A and B are shown apart, each in its own frame.
Chain A
Amino acid sequence: MENITCACGHSNPYGTKLCEKCGRPLTEEEKQNKVVDMRYDGTAIRSKTYNKSIVDKIWNFFSSVKVGISLIIITLVAASIGTILPQELYVNAPDVSKPAYYEKVYGWFGKVYNQLGLSDLYSTWWFQILVGMLAISIIVASLDRGIPLYKSLKNQRVKRHESFMKRQRIVAEGHVTASPEETLDKVEKKMTEMKYNVRRDGSALLAEKGRFSRYGPYINHVGLIVFLGGVMLRLVPGFYVDESIWVREGEMRAVSGMDGYFIENRKFILETHDNKPQGEQVRQGVNVVAKNFQSDITLYKQPKDAIPGDIDNLEKVRDYSIRVNHPLKEAGFALYQMNYRLNELKQMNFNLVNKATEESLGTIEIDLTNPKKAYNLGNGASVQLLVYTPDFNGFENGAPQTKSSLPVNPAFIFKMTTPETPDGETSFVAIKQTMEPFGETKYKMKFAGSETLNVSNFTIRKDRTIPILFVGGVIFMIGVAIGSYWNHRRLWLQVEPDGGVVMAAHVNKNMFSMKKDLDAVTAFAGLPHYIDQLEKLEEGEESTDGGIKEKEGDNTL
């Protein structure tokens, strides 16, 4: 790939459209054009310079705007497919029965949707690779265009060749009556007044304003990349924690994800508004409206070098009432009130009753969080607890079985000893069920009430990526603002000693304002009238139309 040497003698890299030094069009295409393409200021996009090794080929693939736009469209389509049905994360069913849930609720479509993995689309490898490729595309394309553009704008010459100036959208040619020096001085004065940077080189003048707006898109790409990087960091251990625990009232539990911390749930409070249902509440059939979900907790911490399970020397950190939207914040973590379960059995009371006389020998209170082996009732009566199953679900080999550790359906085998039955009688007691496996008994355990407790569900969150996401978002918005609300205006002027004038102007957007500036300087310095070559072209083409459309500029990057 060879360099292109311009008529002015400057050597430009392959792919350059307009000479870096004087602005002469270098390609046949540009020479044909009446108005040059000022995108990237005519510099060579780096990827187009050569195409040799495999690395260059990959690079050029990602540098392509076509590829970038295709990736954006594919990603958008894929992401929107994920919104057709709720994602797995938001489906209220246990993990194992989620496939069945999709089929049950959404029919064959749900089944296929789930089988294709679309129900967990955003975690699939292909979606992440897609987003990753988009990121590569953004980075590579920005480097390829941004760097040459920056260099070109930084090194631009004041003096440009006539063929460059005459191919700008705004062109003026003519003569001035005043002396060339005076004209240039006047233009400089006016343009400086209008906050342009003015540079002069002999008979040539360049006035420029808002160059930084050309970098808006690149700044906004940096913001996007920072944002994506922040999202990626969530996977790095220590940056992001999202755990969930259930804690009963009165229970102390290690806080998952928060090593060395323990939480004790002292009390869960659910308050409701005691108003009479009215309006929308009645229409939607809502009886009570919750006012407050609150868990009164105490947070403890292990001493520094303690190991898991060592709860002998816990230090109290503090008491707190975790309410919805009022998480407990500690050491970069936040504990949120997430869910609750009311009325889990805590204690069951039984009377030891003589079946015949209905006479009670006393009451035993079984704390289900810590049942005792034996309960003495005095006067020679006692009850032994032989078996306790918190979640009874039938017998196996004659022994009662439990299907979980939660006291959902407690069952007991008691041995009742009374003065009348000194050898003891055995009775199996479950909710709404009694059995006497070793023959009929004289006594029975009669249910005499229960106490319940509530269970709180906390979510433990830590997200160190938020500041990064925030910074990324801010950079992105700054880029958008710079690119949208500012524009790069340039005016080239050449006044020959004989009074011959060539003027050209370029703006990347907002031609209207540029023209206002031009009108001001033209009037002030007595320059010839300019023409808008695009308008002229349109006029020529649409002569029947009559009207002239105001164009919004060519949106040059």
Chain B
Amino acid sequence: MEKKKKRLVTRTIILVILALAIGYTVYGTATKEKVELVAVGSEAPDFTLVDLNGEKHKLSDYRGQGVFLNFWGTWCKPCEKEMPAMDRQYKAFKDQGVQTLAVNIAQTDFEVQSFVDNYDLSFPVVIDKTKDVMTAYNVGNLPATVMIDPYGKVAKIITGEMTEANIASYMELVKPE
């Protein structure tokens, strides 16, 4: 009996390990091609970029505040559409401890400046010239928005266009207590 029990345990262990390996392979392949940004709940990768006025913005400097991190480009229509709403919500939330940071993907200063002037945007706009931050956040399609809580953790990831009500609710989400 002892021998049989041992055999059963060995067999169960081997089969479970092999089943897990197959499960991991299937899961890994299924999620490999998907454009996945950083994981919700994990620490948002720190970065530093320069805005149009030559000022540096480092994500970790905003620790203690919520951050609305938006990736965009001038050619991206949904990005363009949500900008005015973002600006209004930025003004509403900045004194409640929610910062807005817009990361442009490697466009020229001229284009970005014209865009900002055009929409009279008041939040800081930084340009990711080397696409380093875009790579670090694994941004595939624009617009992409990452909500970062006051502890520097990713609270929510939004891909695609947002309504103004959405934006307000997301900012509410990462507002410091």
Residues of A within 8 A of B (CB): 50, 53, 55-56, 58-59, 123, 125, 128-129, 132-133, 135-136, 139-140, 143, 229, 232, 235-236, 252-254, 256, 259, 262, 307-311, 368-373, 385-388, 390-391, 399, 402-405
Contacts and interface: CB of A to CB of B under 8 A. Distances in A.
A387 B112 CA distance: 11
28 contacts: A55-B12, A56-B8, A125-B26, A128-B22, A128-B29, A129-B26, A135-B22, A232-B24, A235-B32, A252-B129, A253-B106, A253-B130, A254-B130, A254-B132, A262-B132, A307-B58, A309-B47, A309-B49, A369-B108, A372-B110, A385-B110, A386-B114, A387-B114, A388-B111, A390-B75, A402-B74, A405-B73, A405-B75
Given A309-B132, A391-B75, A405-B73, A371 B108 contact: yes
Nearest to A310: B48
7 smallest beta-carbon distances between A and B, as pairs: A132-B22, A235-B28, A254-B132, A308-B136, A309-B47, A308-B47, A371-B110
A402 B21 CA distance: 47
Contacts of A136: 15, 18, 22
A55 B133 contact: no
Contacts of A133: 22
B53 interface: no
Interface string B33-64: 10000000000011111000000001010000
B144 to A, nearest CB: 15
Contacts of A235: 24-25, 28-29, 32
B18 A135 contact: yes
Given A309-B48, A369-B108, 5 more contacts: A308-B132, A310-B48, A311-B129, A373-B110, A402-B74
Contacts of A386: 114
A89 to B, nearest CB: 10
A55 B129 CA distance: 57
B102 to A, nearest CB: 14
B135 A129 contact: no
A308 B43 CA distance: 14
**Which interface class (under 10, 10 to 19, 20 to 34, 35 or more) fits B?**
35 or more
B45 to A, nearest CB: 6
Given A58-B15, A232-B24, A402-B74, A307 B48 contact: yes
Contacts, number: 120
Contact of B110 (A50, A232, A388, A404): A388
B30 A125 contact: yes
A133 B114 CA distance: 59
Contacts of B135: 254, 256, 308
A133 B33 CA distance: 24
B142 to A, nearest CB: 10
A44 B156 CA distance: 59
A387 B113 CA distance: 10
B73 to A, nearest CB: 6
Contacts of B48: 307-310
Nearest to B18: A136
A260 to B, nearest CB: 9
Contacts of A59: 11, 15
Contacts of B129: 252, 311
A368 B48 CA distance: 25
Contacts of B128: 309
B172 interface: no
Interface in B98-136: 105-111, 113-114, 118, 128-136
Contacts of B92: none
A482 B14 CA distance: 27
Main secondary structure of the interface of B (DSSP, over half): helix
Nearest to B104: A405
Interface string B134-148: 111000000000000
A369 to B, nearest CB: 6
Contacts of B4: 50
Contacts of A128: 22, 25-26, 29
B71 to A, nearest CB: 13
B130 A139 contact: no
Contacts of A229: 21
B111 A390 contact: yes
Contacts of A308: 45-48, 132-133, 135-136
Contacts of B131: 253-254
Contact of B108 (A253, A256, A370): A370
Contacts of B26: 125, 128-129, 132
A56 B22 CA distance: 20
Nearest to B118: A399
Contact of A309 (B11, B12, B21, B133): B133
The residue in B26, B49, B106 that gathers the most chain A C-beta atoms within 10 A of its C-beta is: B26
A308 B24 CA distance: 30
Nearest to A307: B46
A340 to B, nearest CB: 19
The residue in A55, A125, A133, A403 that gathers the most chain B C-beta atoms within 10 A of its C-beta is: A55
A38 to B, nearest CB: 26
Nearest to A1: B4
B95 to A, nearest CB: 27
A252 B130 contact: yes
Contact of A132 (B25, B108, B132, B136): B25
